[in-house]
Structure formats: structure tokens, C-alpha cells
């Protein structure tokens, strides 16, 4: 009998022996492990792994497709293949369990499928529909009618979404804490007002790239949404100091503020931040050309928890601004100073002498800073935590200086660009000139 069993497990020409062994091993797992434990193990698997497990046996099919394993579904890896009927079937099967669904980039998804989804998945809390370009305000209507537990909604780059979506969401989704409307170009300040008046628990709002947003929207957010922690207004070129002032004075728990390419913002906004936002740890103000050292002095004195700053193309700041940051912002980890053409080695020295440099500074970007030389790199040798430095188009930086820096910080990644010296006059005009090169060391 033992020999017969042994023979049944041996490989055969048609593979039956191997399959028999797999069946026996799978049966042993089912015998030795309680169903509850197998179910618990399945709860850690992704969508693909669960679907594969469902094909192993009848028992595993039941356990893998149990609704408790499908509370969170991320379909980003299948975004080009997801069709409306898939979403509808998934909604009907797991509707009562589903809490988090990510359908980002499902370009063929339409309102009808999301109508069925909203009716079946009334416990949904987080929904990401970014880049679902076919959905319209009808989807917001369905969500507001059925999904009252919705806390986080991402609709970025959905070009058909209008202010009507904001009014619908504000009307019924009172638990909403996160709303992403980035690059929804039809959204205006009126839409933001309607959602701000009713969804007063908002903590995160992303309005990047919405050209119709102005100071009126910021007034409403500041007045009604005092719990805001993250506000992204990058590329909202119509906003200015008046709106930022109201926002800062009322939302004092702000942690992240994005104002890049808001050209009307001046030192007055930095002053308001310094006086009202002690918890601020991320600030992006790239291409805000009116900001000066005076504004950063007040900002640094009041915002001591700053960890990440993007000051790219703040063309008026000088070494003094870096001195203020070095003295007052010991937690600084990531600093972008690209195209700040007034900065010199003295500013980098001040930064390197600050508390942030020896322990926390990990990334510094100095692209197109024409006055920076190898001396600045020598100052940065004390920055033991430094992981990456960018030096594109820094014409006074040499390969020798970079090698010297890397000899002190061997784990450092240096991204640099070198323009070769002008070649001598060539008698053969058809001969190809040397090209520029970029190196990552």
C-alpha cells in the first residue's frame, strides 16, 4: 500500500504524479490549518494572488473570494483592461465589504458603471477615479445619493467634472476629509465655496492646475474648513496674498502648502505663514518670482518644523535666505534651489553649518546656480546624511570637485552636467563636434 502511494506521487509522462502530490499537499494545508487562519493569510494578498488562489480548489475559491479579503482593491495595474462590466460585477459581489477602491486611469469607465457601484458599495470610504476621463457630474450625483461614508475622493484630471460635482458632494458627503480636483479645469471658486460650506471636516484639498480658482475660494476654505492640513494650489495663477492670508490665519494646523507658479504671491504670504503656521513642514513656492530674503527670514523664524522646501526659480533670494533657514530650520531634509542665480558658496557654507546639515539634509538641488563652485562642495562634506545632489548646468563645478565630495560621502548620488570646452577651429567643417554630456556619479 505504501509503495502504491509512493508510486502515485512520482512524476509521470502526463504530469499526473506531480499534480497528485500538489493535491495531497494542498489537502494537508486544509487539514492542518483552520479555515479562519487560511482566510487571515489570504487577507495579505493582492488582487492577482487572490485570483490565482481561487483557482486552486473549491475550498480556496470560497476563501479567496470571501468579501472580507476584498475591502481594499487597487486595479491600477489593470487600468487599460478594466471595463464597465468588471466594475459592475465586482460591486455586486463585494459591495457590502468594499471600503477602498482605486480605479485610477480606467479611461473607458463611465457613469453607468459607477451608478451601480454607488448603489452596491454604500460603505465605500476611499475612492480614486483620477484620469477616468469619461466620467461626468452624474457620478458625483450617484455618490452623494448613496455613499454617505465617503471620506476620500480623487477626481484629478477628469476633464468633464464641473462645479456641480462640488455642490453635490457638499450636499451629502459630510464625512469628506480629502478631495482631489487637480487639473479639473472647469472647477471654479464657486464650486470650492459650495463644498467648503458643507464639508467643513476637510483636511486635504488639491486644486492644482485649476485656472478658475481665485482668492474667493481661499476665503471660503479659511472660513469654514479650519481643519485643513494639506492645501495644493500650484498653478492657480489667480490667487494672491489676500487669499493666502485668510487661509493661514484660520488653518493653523497646516502641514503642507503648495503655491508653486502662483506668481502674485509675495513676501506678505511668507510673513503670514511664519506668524500662523508653526506645524508647516512642506512648502513649495517654485517660480514665485516676487519672494525675497525678507520674507524667508520671517518664515524661518516661525516655521521651525520645515522639512521640505522647493524654492526653484525664486530669483530674488540670496545667501541671506539660506542663513535664515540654516539657523531656524534644523529638520530640513530636502531643499531645491535650482535657478536661484544669486546664491554663492557663502550661502552653501551657511547651510552646511546649520543643525540640519549634519543630521537631516538628504537632498539638495542646485541646478543652474552659476556662482556655485567646488568650494561649496567642500562645505557639504560635513553633511553625513546627504543622499543626492543635483548640479546640472553649474558651470564652475568640476569633475575633480565632485570626486572629492564623493570620497567623503561614498553613498552620495551626484547628478551633474558638463559642457565640454569649445573645440579648436577645424579645417574640416563636416567633422562632428563633441556633444554635451550628463553624468550620474
The 10s digit of each residue's pLDDT in 166-218 is: 999 988 888 999 999 999 999 999 999 999 998 999 999 999 999 999 999 99
Separation in Å, CA 361 to CA 328, 331, 358, 374, 386: 14, 8, 7, 19, 6
Contact (Cβ atoms closer than 8 angstroms) between residue 194 and residue 220: no
Nearest to 103 by CA among 131, 68, 139, 144: 131
Element (H, E) at 198: helix 189-198
The position carrying cell 463611465 is 110
Rounded Cα distance between 412 and 227, Å, is 39
Nearest-5° Cα angle at 393, 390 to 395? 115
Helices (H) and strands (E) in the chain, counts: 19, 15
Q: In 3D, which of 108, 109, 118, 116 has the Cα closest to residue 140?
A: 118
Reading the block at residue 137, the C-alpha cell is 457630474
b/e string for 323-352 if b means 16 or more Cβ within 10 A? bbbbbbbbebbbbbbbbbbbbbbbbbbbbb
- Strands, E assignment, 217-362: 230-232, 256-258, 282-284, 308-310, 334-336
34 Cβ contact list (under 8 Å, min separation 6): none
Query: Residue 33 and residue 45: Cα distance in Å, rounded?
Result: 17
Q: At 391, which helix (H) or strand (E)?
A: strand 388-391
- Tell me the C-alpha distance between 333 and 213, whole Å: 31
Residue by residue, pLDDT tens for the chain (441 residues) are 444 443 333 344 444 444 555 555 556 677 777 878 877 887 787 777 877 777 777 777 777 677 676 788 887 766 556 778 888 888 888 878 899 999 998 888 999 999 999 999 999 999 999 999 999 999 999 999 999 999 999 999 999 999 999 999 988 888 999 999 999 999 999 999 999 998 999 999 999 999 999 999 999 999 999 999 999 999 999 999 999 999 999 999 999 999 999 999 999 999 999 999 999 999 999 999 999 999 999 999 999 999 999 999 999 999 999 999 999 999 999 999 999 999 999 999 999 999 888 789 999 999 999 999 999 999 999 999 999 999 999 999 999 999 999 999 999 999 997 655 545 455 444 433 333 445 556
Q: Is the dihedral of CA 227, 233, 239, 245 positive or negative?
A: positive
Rounded (to 5) percent helix, strand, coil in the chain: 40, 10, 45
- Which DSSP category does 432 fall into? P
**pLDDT tens per residue across span 3-33:** 444 333 334 444 444 455 555 555 667 777 7
pTM value is 0.85
C-beta separation of 321 from 350 below 8 A? no
Alpha-carbon separation of residue 214 from 8, 189, 259, 358 (angstroms): 76, 6, 13, 41
Q: Collect all residues with Cβ–Cβ distance below 8 Å to 52 and sequence separation of at least 6.
A: none
Q: Give the separation between CA 154 and CA 23, rounded to whole angstroms.
A: 44
What is the pLDDT at residue 67?
Answer: 67
Is residue 187 within 8 Å of 166, Cβ to Cβ?
Answer: yes
Chain centre to alpha carbon of residue 5: 57
Can you list the domains of the chain with their CATH numbers?
A: 26-69 (1.20.1280), 70-328+346-351 (3.80.10.10)
pLDDT score at 399 = 94
Amino acid at each position: 500500500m505504501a509503495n502504491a502511494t509512493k508510486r502515485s506521487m512520482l512524476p509521470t509522462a502526463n504530469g499526473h504524479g506531480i499534480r497528485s502530490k500538489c493535491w495531497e499537499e494542498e489537502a494537508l494545508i486544509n487539514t492542518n490549518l483552520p479555515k479562519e487562519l487560511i482566510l487571515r493569510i489570504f487577507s495579505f494578498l493582492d488582487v492577482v494572488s487572490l485570483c490565482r488562489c481561487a483557482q486552486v480548489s473549491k475550498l480556496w475559491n470560497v476563501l479567496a473570494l470571501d468579501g472580507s479579503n476584498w475591502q481594499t482593491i487597487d486595479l491600477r495595474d489593470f487600468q487599460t483592461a478594466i471595463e464597465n462590466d468588471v466594475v459592475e460585477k465586482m460591486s455586486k459581489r463585494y459591495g457590502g465589504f468594499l471600503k477602498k477602491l482605486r480605479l485610477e486611469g480606467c479611461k473607458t469607465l463611465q457613469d453607468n458603471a459607477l451608478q451601480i457601484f454607488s448603489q452596491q458599495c454604500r460603505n465605500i470610504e476611499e475612492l480614486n477615479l483620477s484620469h477616468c476621463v469619461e466620467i461626468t457630474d452624474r457620478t458625483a450625483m450617484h455618490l452623494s445619493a448613496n455613499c454617505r461614508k465617503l471620506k476620500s475622493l480623487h477626481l484629478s484630471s477628469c476633464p468633464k467634472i464641473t462645479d456641480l460635482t462640488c455642490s453635490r458632494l457638499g450636499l451629502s458627503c459630510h464625512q469628506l476629509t480629502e478631495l482631489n480636483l487637480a487639473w479639473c479645469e472647469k472647477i471654479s471658486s464657486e464650486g470650492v465655496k459650495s463644498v467648503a460650506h458643507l464639508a467643513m471636516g476637510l483636511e486635504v484639498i488639491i486644486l492644482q492646475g485649476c485656472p478658475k480658482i481665485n482668492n474667493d475660494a481661499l476665503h471660503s476654505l479659511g472660513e469654514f474648513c479650519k481643519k485643513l492640513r494639506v492645501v495644493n494650489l500650484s498653478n492657480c495663477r489667480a490667487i494672491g496674498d489676500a487669499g493666502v492670508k485668510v487661509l493661514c490665519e484660520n488653518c493653523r494646523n497646516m502641514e503642507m502648502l503648495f503655491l508653486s507658479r502662483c506668481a502674485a504671491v509675495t513676501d506678505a504670504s511668507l510673513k503670514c505663514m511664519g506668524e500662523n503656521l508653526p506645524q508647516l513642514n512642506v512648502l513649495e513656492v517654485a517660480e514665485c518670482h516676487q519672494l525675497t530674503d525678507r520674507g524667508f527670514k520671517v518664515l524661518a523664524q516661525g516655521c521651525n518644523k520645515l522639512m521640505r522646501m522647493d524654492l526653484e526659480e525664486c530669483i530674488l533670494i540670496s545667501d541671506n535666505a539660506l542663513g535664515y533657514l540654516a539657523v531656524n530650520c534644523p529638520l530640513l531634509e530636502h531643499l531645491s534651489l535650482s535657478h536661484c542665480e544669486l546664491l554663492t558658496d557663502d550661502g552653501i557654507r551657511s547651510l552646511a553649518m546649520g543643525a540640519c546639515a549634519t543630521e537631516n539634509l538628504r537632498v539638495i538641488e542646485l541646478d543652474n546656480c552659476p556662482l556655485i563652485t567646488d568650494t561649496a562642495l567642500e562645505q557639504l562634506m560635513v553633511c553625513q546624511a546627504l543622499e543626492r545632489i543635483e548640479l546640472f548646468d553649474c558651470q564652475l563645478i568640476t569633475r575633480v570637485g565632485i570626486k572629492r565630495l564623493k570620497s567623503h560621502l561614498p553613498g552620495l548620488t551626484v547628478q551633474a552636467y558638463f559642457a565640454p570646452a569649445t573645440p579648436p577651429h577645424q579645417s574640416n567643417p563636416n567633422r562632428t563636434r563633441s556633444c554635451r554630456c550628463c553624468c550620474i556619479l
